[in-house]
Amino acid sequence: MGKNQVNTLDSFLSHLESIFSVTIHDAKEIIDTFHREMSSGLAGMKSSLKMIPSFVGPPSGTEKGKYLVLDLGGTNIRVLAVELDGKGNTSMAAVSRFVIPQEMMCGAGDAIFDYIADCIKLFFEKNCIDRQKTYDLAFTFSFPVEQSSLASGKLIGWTKGFTASGVVGNDVVALLSAALRRKEMGFIHVVALANDTVGTLVAKCYSDPSCDMGVILGTGTNACYPEKVARILKCPVLGLSGKMIVNIEWGGFSQLKMNIYDQDLDCASRNADKQHLEKMVSGMYLGEIARRVIVEMMNRGLLFKGTNLSAFSREYMLHTEHLSLVAQGSDFFADFGLRDVSEVDRGTIRELCRIVSTRSAKIAGAAIAAVVTWMDANFESDHTIAIDGTLFEKYPGYQDHIVGVLRELFGECAKRIRLELVRDGSGIGSAIIGAVAASARPVSSGDDCGRHRI
């Protein structure tokens, strides 16, 4: 669009509305393309959806015990002790959260694993856990991994701004185990590796067998679902009947209409031309998309007139939390040194936050619709979608927009889809996967191989 056509505020806002729109026609197109890409991915053909087998089936609900879990997300590390009662109930005996420092995300691989080991050490100290015993740990690792067994897998490529060296192509369980030994915690054995989406699905499934999809809407975004083993054509000799959970890695979906802001963000990112859907949807990027629009509007004299143009010049300085504040009726202006912001500018920022976050929720809704219809084209069953992630949990109105798209697409049938927040699901689910791993191990003299759970 030419500059003079969008030089008034109203026309610029309607221009934004149009380049960020997701019409019902777009949503249907996303569904069709998703199905094609899912099919290619399962067959091992070229696809932007990796469709990774997880080596995990849906849980039975009878898994039992107390497990140590390490959940490495995109922003946070959580160490948890999770208790499973064998009757579908879970409780968290202890949890500690740590923020991953920027320098760890982009430094040497060994340094990030040493940092993780230190977090586990602090967790042991804080909770006075006996270090003379041995423990089983389930590792939730929220990045694309080509899994070779329940407790091994190689990192395919970093996402969410991580670039730590020496990790891509290597087994992340081996790297974590080596760091634990370096930090004198070799008494912790990593028994399961799980993707966060898989953990989320398993966590909800434990108590609710109607749950057949796990979704992450946090720093990154991804989803998984139980697939008939016979349909996972790329692994013809899995030796399993029934279903296996497939990690879609939907953040990589590449068939979306990107606008100029998406394209610029992608080009400047640490993983250019990858993770297109993630960059339009997930929490790591919404603030940055909005910041790029703000800079453009300031340059055109449509926003914050008289303010130094450099106020929003640093990449990723505007966060999804800031947009979330605006959506709550508050603002972020003080954080950026802006005082006496006019009513018109406040209204413009509100519109911008709404436009960026609504598109995110609508794409997420269309992607959920694609997976549900892949599993059940005629809505013959109910579907509970387990969702973990702070974007979904805390962004005002986000859930309603997802529901809105599902209603528009499916009318009354949309009632068969239930979205359920599963807080810390990604961690709890790994504990369940760990329990399955532990029960599969040969048991000598009934003492669980001398291993102790916390």
The residues assigned a catalytic role are 78, 142, 196
Q: Interface with Mg ion includes 161 (CB under 5 A)? A: no
Least CB distance from residue 143 to ligand ADP, whole Å? 11
For residue 295, the surrounding DSSP H or E stretch is helix 283-299
Among Mg ion, ligand ADP, none, partner that 416 touches (CB below 5 to 8 angstroms by kind)? none
Give counts: helices (H), strands (E), the chain. Answer: 14, 13
Q: Interface with ligand ADP includes 251 (CB under 6 A)? A: no
Least CB distance from residue 424 to ligand ADP, whole Å? 9
Among Mg ion, ligand ADP, none, partner that 357 touches (CB below 5 to 8 angstroms by kind)? none
Q: Interface with ligand ADP includes 96 (CB under 6 A)? A: no
Q: Interface with ligand ADP includes 222 (CB under 6 A)? A: no
Q: Taking CB under 6 A as the rule, which mask of x and - marks residues 311-330 in contact with ligand ADP?
A: ---------xx--x------
Q: Interface with ligand ADP includes 161 (CB under 6 A)? A: no
- CB nearer Mg ion, residue 196 or residue 331: 196
* 283: its two tokens: 């929490």
Residues 199, 72: Cα–Cα separation, whole Å:
12
Q: Which stretch binds Mg ion (CB under 5 A): 81-89, 210-218, 266-274, 402-410?
A: 210-218
Radius of gyration of the chain (CA): 23
Least CB distance from residue 442 to ligand ADP, whole Å? 34
Q: Interface with ligand ADP includes 109 (CB under 6 A)? A: no
Q: Interface with ligand ADP includes 423 (CB under 6 A)? A: no
Q: Interface with ligand ADP includes 218 (CB under 6 A)? A: yes
Residues 243, 343: Cα–Cα separation, whole Å:
55
Q: What residues contact residue 244 under an 8 Å CB cut-off, 6+ apart?
A: 53, 54, 55, 56, 57, 226, 227, 229, 232, 238
Least CB distance from residue 93 to ligand ADP, whole Å? 20
Binding residue for ligand ADP, selected from 123, 395, 406, 453, defined by CB under 6 A: 395
Q: What residues contact residue 105 under an 8 Å CB cut-off, 6+ apart?
A: 112, 161, 162, 163, 164
Single-letter residue type at 110: D
Q: What residues contact residue 190 under an 8 Å CB cut-off, 6+ apart?
A: 137, 138, 139, 151, 173, 176, 177, 180
Instruction: Please list every residue from 69 through 88 that binds ligand ADP, using CB under 6 A.
Output: 73-76
For residue 267, the surrounding DSSP H or E stretch is helix 260-268
Among Mg ion, ligand ADP, none, partner that 53 touches (CB below 5 to 8 angstroms by kind)? none
Single-letter residue type at 379: F
Torsion sign over Cα 248, 251, 253, 257 = positive
Site for Mg ion, rule CB under 5 A = 73, 196, 218, 426
Q: Which residues bind ligand ADP (CB under 6 A)?
A: 73-76, 218-219, 283-284, 320-321, 324, 389-391, 394-395
